Structure 1
Amino acid sequence: MSTSTRAVTAVALLAGFYLLALGILVGLLALDVALYQASGQLRPGLAKIWALSAAIGYPVVRVVFLTRRRKDDGELPGVRLTREQQPALWAMVDRIAERTGVRGPAEIRLVPEVNAGVLEETRLLGLVPGKRHLVIGAPLLIGLTEGELESVLAHEFGHYSNRDVRLAALTVAGRRAVLHTVGGLHHRADRHQAGEAAKLAAKAEKRLAKGRKPSDQEATGGVDRVLAGLFTLYAKLYFRVSEAVGRRQEYAADLVAAQLAGRDATAAALRKMPVLDSAQDFYLSRYATIGWDAGLLPPPGQVYGGLLDLLSDPKRRQELADHALDLPEREPDPYDSHPPIGLRVAAIEALPDDGRGPGADTPALALLHDAERVLTELEVVSLIPEAAGKQRVEWPELVRRAMLAHAREAAAPAGRALTALGLPATVHGLLDAVDAGRAWEFTDRMPKSEQAAAATGRAAREFARPVLREELGHAAVVALAEAGLAGWELSWSGPAELHLPDGFEDAFDAALDAACADTADTAPLRALLTGAGLPSPAARTV
């Protein structure tokens, strides 16, 4: 399908959306006029029909034609990368623009997402071109080589050369209009349904008070729900057509990328994109924000920049390489603007070998001058306001303090149970409870599964024993860590590693087992803690 045909299709579908709404209004008006002419006079029944027409027509006029949609104005997200500050990156962009023969972007923006995209400030639904913007995700600079990044950017310029950016404005405008109207109608239907449900509940309560059976009538959302369903059907039609256009655009842009940057670099970049997306999510949740609840963040520039350390770890690098080779197989979604990544890779790898290999293997981050400063600026403009109040600490200190906070949180229920028993919320307090024969009284105050709560006698003890053992372990680790005798060490290969005092771990399991046996013996664990350097509290009566 040619570009002009695609544009006409997009405009026709968008116009058809409004024509559907206008057709409903015209049809209602024509029906009302025809009924009046047929009756020859104004009858009470006509007033009811006109009222129903108004009830149907009002939400169409109100939601489709009268509600103002927010304009996407103001500053674009991310950090602006100027030519003066980032000459190497701009040189690559200019080179790709020249090779594709298209007008380059007026500005480049760095964003935190695993994404690259082109935006154009068009008018008249994209028919009149305007200022162009290139958006590059920081994870792409961190995780791709220069050759792979060149492929990604060439893909985006492929959209320029195919005039897809202007066409995208048409489909985006249509998507927003359709989603806005369908959402508005469903919102009205939800409110209508809630009002109906409240009235029906009040009626049912009155009938029950009179000893009568309540009605089985259910709230539906009325005319608003019917209209929402009708426009939803149109939305599905629009999305199927417009997103099919989008998928063709992606294949065409991939081909441009392969022609400019090489087949192998393009395939490698495509394989890495979903892997980088997963790695970014994993890094942010398991590393960058590990100390969020404790009021901690990594050093400036490391909230996003620390991803490089994760990707540089040999074990993680091998894991990611394996994932890149094992792309998930799935069928194309008719409502997705992008084809499945596996199909895109297969299409590129099916091209003849161009002999260019993977391209420049220099890390793409080398293109970014003063990367730490830029990534720090990105944090300032992209993190939520609460981040400004977090303390910035180096990675080793961050992991140590964050893991101690997590350990304290895990031990908190045990602390509350001990306090309720009148005992110190410490490992020695729990050991005192065991020595006083109150261990099962303690576990009885801990959260339980349904099976554990229903168990009695010996069975209850067996459910409670692992709980007691786990809480003794938590309490011991917290006590040692708070005393500076144990701690956690950062590992980019896996979870933070807990380091206990020398010789402690070898005897720890046996000491816990002894304290949780039917004939409990807390002496081994007490001796182990004392030998590690943890002072014993003064003896107390339980």
Structure 2
Amino acid sequence: MRMVAAVRAGASVLMLAGFYIVALIQVAAAIAFGVWLSSLVPGGIALKVIFPVLVAAIGSVAVGMWKAVRAKPQPPEGLGLGPDQAPELWRTVHELAHVVGTRVPNEIRLVPEVNAAVYEESRLLGLIGGRRTLYIGLPLIQAFTVDQLRAVLAHELGHYSHAHTRLGAIAYRGRLAIGGTIGRIGPYNVAGWIFKGYARLYLLVDNASSRRQELEADQAAVRAAGRAAAASALREIPVVDAAWGFFFGRYVEPGWESGFAPEDLFGGFAELLAARKDELEEMRGQEPPSDGSVWDTHPPIAERIGAIAATPEVARPPDGRRAGVLLPDMGGAGRAMQARMLDVGDRRVLPWAYFTAATATTTMQRNADGIFRAVGRAIGDDRLNLATLLDIVAANRLGAAAESLFPNATRREVPKCFTEPMAMLIALAAIKSNVAYWQHSWTGPARLVGHDGQPLPTAEIAARAVSPQTVDEARAWLAHLRIDPGSAMVVEQRASATGAGVVAGIANVKVDGVEHDLLVLDKGLVFVGNPGKSDKGKVRLQELVGSAPADEIARTHRFLPYEEITSVAFVKNVPLRVDITLHSGQTVSVHEAWSSELIAKNSRDVLTDVLKQVSD
């Protein structure tokens, strides 16, 4: 294995060296061409012709190489588990290391990912091994059987026994150097095309080597756990990954964006796995992905399972216990990792039942605020609540007051269309009146129920509350249930960017004649004043977007919610010039310049489409 490692290290170094040889050849060719051209035209013209080539070949490569030399891979931090904290897990790792023929890692760390990995601080181009760390994703331990986890751990230890990890630093620096160089070469620099072609060749070779390494490590998994366990683990990883993504998207992220954090993140995931086991079992019956690409670092799962099936079987006693038995206190480990690695900031940390309730109520209030603001703009009142809205219904003014919410309905149709929003406002009033609460569930959405555990008749009340003829019946029903209509009121009198994402960006635009950078969010526009030098626009936008979440950026700078826009006049398409009229009567002029820079190629089209949708 040491000889194989040396050969692969040498190949990686040669491939990386070839990149700089290409640069030197281009420099020599550019100089020779410049000397020849200077014999035909004045020297100044010749210099202008070859200057872009020299910049690409010398400047960009030098910067990329300097960054690569100084940088090194940054492994995840994780939560360290000593032998005294997880003796059974360490015993298993010792056993597996012996089976695959490698030395035991120096430390084991838990990470909050559906993944396992190994890292080695090697020296001398990977010829000399160093300190080793084994990373295990806690979600894998929560979801896997002991057999499946043994297969995954043996696979990772197999990377050690085949000396794959010793090439990590070389591969990292190679990708960093080439990527950094390519990123500094403009799209119209002809000399850069040669670099980009070589970069593609480098990645093709590097990715092919990575795929071979994965297949080799799979053989180690078979030796340690058997073919069935190795194949089963590969099939299970996409299932657990999908469950983890669903868990975050459905349960965690909405509350996180609303200013809350769950008290026991990993405990919640364990409960979801138990509650949705039938759905997960159905996912396991699906065929694994078989499509692959030469640009992939891992072979398709179907190909890996096929290779495992062709490997000689190794008799191993099965162990179908849950992998959590390898940790004496998995719940405590999850809470410790959350405390160490999750920065909650100023969010309120709540138990799951309260976290779900707070999230649902905050989301409902945000939606209610949008309704109240729309109606308030129509009637000239920015302090609306449900009680005043019922007065509007009684006065037969709901059609005119809420027509902006239903642009495709006539005024006579608006009250019936408003039934669903009215039901939501009644539900909010029930919560604010302490008549109802949210019932948490891992098998479906949270339910709004009364103190008897039964759903409230919000839809029936709302059907009466939107008509002048029956609104008094609705009021009486609310009174009977002890629901105070005045408790459901507008909180945010102006829309915020909470939960927003960046969809486009244009640097160096004029807003009402003043230089700005413009970020396009899915909830509004952000105007960034005093942006800086015009030649750094794209980089400036990228740094801004990477510096903080979109809602924080919107709070720091001028934010224009889309709901405040009444119309958009397109004065010119390229460069884009628009005049935006607001409900207040104010006009905002946005003029793109020829010197403007886009954070992405389609940014202008995205902004145009968004403004057209808002103005329709």
TM-score (norm 2): 0.72
Shift of 1:502: 6.2
**Superposed displacement of residue 335, structure 1:** 0.6
1:27-426 correspondence runs (5 A):
27-34=29-36, 39=39, 45-67=42-64, 68-69=66-67, 70-72=70-72, 76-185=76-185, 189=186, 222-223=188-189, 226-299=190-263, 302-313=264-275, 316-349=276-309, 351=311, 356=316, 359-384=318-343, 387-420=344-377, 421=379, 422=381, 425-426=384-385
**Contact persistence 1:487–1:498 (CA under 8 A):** yes
Question: How many angstroms apart in 2 are the aligned matches of 1:537 and 1:77?
Answer: 50
Deviations 1:77-116 (A, max 9, x none): 1122222332222111111111222122111221111111
SS of 2:418's equivalent? helix
Using a 3 Å threshold, how does the CA distance of structure 1 residues 377 and 349 change in structure 2: closer, same or farther? same
Q: What residue identity is the alignment partner of 1:311? A: L
The Cα offsets for residues 114-160 of structure 1, whole Å up to 9 and x where unpaired, read as: 11111111223323322211111111111112221111010011112
Moved more, 483-492 or 59-68: 59-68
When the two chains are superposed, the root-mean-square deviation of aligned CA atoms in Å is: 2.8
Counterpart amino acid of residue 392 in structure 1: V
Give, as a single letter, the amino acid of the residue that structure 1 aligns with 2:50.
S
Task: Return the alpha-carbon distance in structure 1 between the equivalents of residues 392 and 109 of structure 2.
Answer: 61
Given that residues 88 and 327 in structure 2 are in contact (C-alpha distance below 8 angstroms), is that contact kept between their aligned partners in structure 1? yes
Contact 1:430 1:472 in 2 (8 A): no
Task: Note the 1:379-528 alignment, pairs <5 A.
Answer: 379-384=338-343, 387-420=344-377, 421=379, 422=381, 425-446=384-405, 448=406, 452=408, 459=410, 461-462=412-413, 464-465=414-415, 467-500=417-450, 508-516=458-466, 520-528=469-477
Distance in 2 (CA, whole Å) between partners of 1:253 and 1:75 is 20
Quick one: structure 1 residues 16 and 466, their matched pair in 2 at CA, closer, same or farther if it must change by over 3 Å?
Answer: farther
Summarize the Cα distance change of 1:466–1:113 in structure 2 as closer, same or farther, 3 Å threshold: farther
| 1:437 counterpart SS class | coil
- Work out which structure has the larger RCO, using CA pairs closer than 8 Å and 6 or more positions apart in sequence: 1
Give yes or no for contact 1:288–1:306 (8 Å, CA) kept in 2.
Answer: no
Paired residues of 1:264 and 1:356 also in contact (CA < 8 A): no
Provide the secondary structure at the position in 2 that maps to 1:529: helix
Closer/same/farther in 2, CA of residues 532 and 354 from structure 1, 3 Å limit: farther
SS in 1 for 2:182: helix
Structure 1 alignment gaps of length 5 or more: 190-220
**Counterparts in 2 of 1:134 and 1:445: CA distance versus 1, 3 Å:** same
Larger radius of gyration: 1
Q: Distance in 1 between matches of 2:465 and 2:5?
A: 77
Give the letter for the 1:49 counterpart: A
What is the deviation of 1:507?
5.1
How far the C-alpha of 1:494 sits from its partner, in A, is 1.4
**C-alpha distance in 1 between matches for 2:200 and 2:147:** 39
Amino acid at match of 1:528: W
Which structure: greater strand fraction? Answer: 2
Against the structure 1 CA distance between its residues 95 and 106, is the aligned structure 2 distance closer, same or farther, given a 3 Å change threshold? same
Give 2:55's aligned amino acid. Y
> How far apart in 2 are the matches of 1:424 and 1:52?
67
Letter in 1 for 2:357: R
> How many angstroms does 1:508 deviate by?
4.2
Deviation per residue, 1:450-474 (Å, 9 max, x gap): xx2xx6xxx4543x34541122111
CA separation of 1:321 and 1:353: change in aligned 2, threshold 3 A? farther
Contact 2:81/2:110, CA 8 A, preserved across alignment = yes
Tell me the distance in 2 between the aligned counterparts of 1:114 and 1:324.
16
User: Is the contact between residue 290 and residue 399 of structure 1 (CA under 8 Å) also seen in structure 2?
Assistant: no
Q: 1-side partners of 2:193 and 2:316: how far apart?
A: 53
The total of aligned residue pairs comes to: 480
SS at match of 1:291: helix
Partner of 1:198: none
Q: Is the 8 A contact 2:6 2:127 kept in 1?
A: no
Q: 1:179 to 1:536 in 2, by over 3 A?
A: closer
Change in Cα spacing, 1:155 to 1:74, as seen in structure 2 (3 Å) is closer
Give CA deviations for 1:414-469 in whole Å, capped at 9, x if unaligned.
Answer: 222444434863333222111101101221243x55xx2xx6xxx4543x345411
> What SS does the corresponding residue of 2:299 show, helix, strand or coil?
coil
Cα distance in structure 1, aligned partners of 2:35 and 2:138: 62
Q: What SS class does the counterpart of residue 487 from structure 1 fall into?
A: strand
- Contact map agreement 1:254 1:266 (CA 8 A) in 2: yes
Sort the Cα spacing of 1:318 and 1:131 in 2 relative to 1 into closer, same or farther, 3 A: same
Deviates more, 1:73-82 or 1:434-443: 73-82
State the alpha-carbon separation in 2 of the partners of residues 537 and 318 from structure 1. 44
Question: What runs of 5+ residues in structure 2 fail to find an aligned partner?
Answer: 488-616
String of CA shifts for 1:352-396, please: whole Å, max 9, x gaps.
665647x32222223224333432332234224xx1422222221
Report the CA distance between 1:535 and its aligned residue: 4.4
Q: Does structure 1 retain, via aligned residues, the 8 Å contact 2:449–2:456?
A: no
- Give the 3-state SS of the residue equivalent to 1:306 in structure 2: helix
Counterpart for residue 21 of structure 1: 23
Give the direction of change, closer, same or farther, for the CA distance of 1:310–1:504 in structure 2 (3 Å limit).
closer
Q: 1:438/1:120 Cα in 2 relative to 1: closer, same or farther (>3 Å)? A: same
Specify whether residues 233 and 121 from structure 1 end up closer, same or farther in structure 2 by C-alpha distance, changes over 3 A only. Answer: same
Distance in 2 between the 1:361 and 1:391 partners? 39
Residues 324 and 371 (structure 1 numbering): CA distance in 2 closer, same or farther, change over 3 Å?
A: same
Q: Which amino acid aligns with 2:320?
A: D
**Structure 2 residue identity aligned to 1:134:** L
Whether the 8 Å CA contact 1:121–1:131 is kept in 2: the answer is yes
The alignment's TM-score, normalised by the length of structure 1, stands at 0.81
Report the equivalent of 1:217: none
> Does the Cα contact within 8 Å between 1:271 and 1:324 map onto a contact in 2?
yes
Q: Is contact 1:121-1:129 (8 Å) kept?
A: yes
Q: 1:534 to 1:506 in 2, by over 3 A?
A: closer
Question: Matched residues in 1 for 2:374 and 2:429: separation?
Answer: 17
Asked if 1 retains the 8 angstrom alpha-carbon contact of 2:376 and 2:384, the reply is yes
1:440 aligned partner, one-letter code: G
* One of 475, 479, 501 as aligned partner of 1:530: 479
Describe the SS at the equivalent of 1:389. coil
Give a deviation string over 1:167-216, Cα, whole Å, max 9, x none: 3443333222211211222xxx2xxxxxxxxxxxxxxxxxxxxxxxxxxx
Look up the SS of the partner of 2:192 in the other structure: helix
Cα distance in structure 2, aligned partners of 1:328 and 1:461: 54
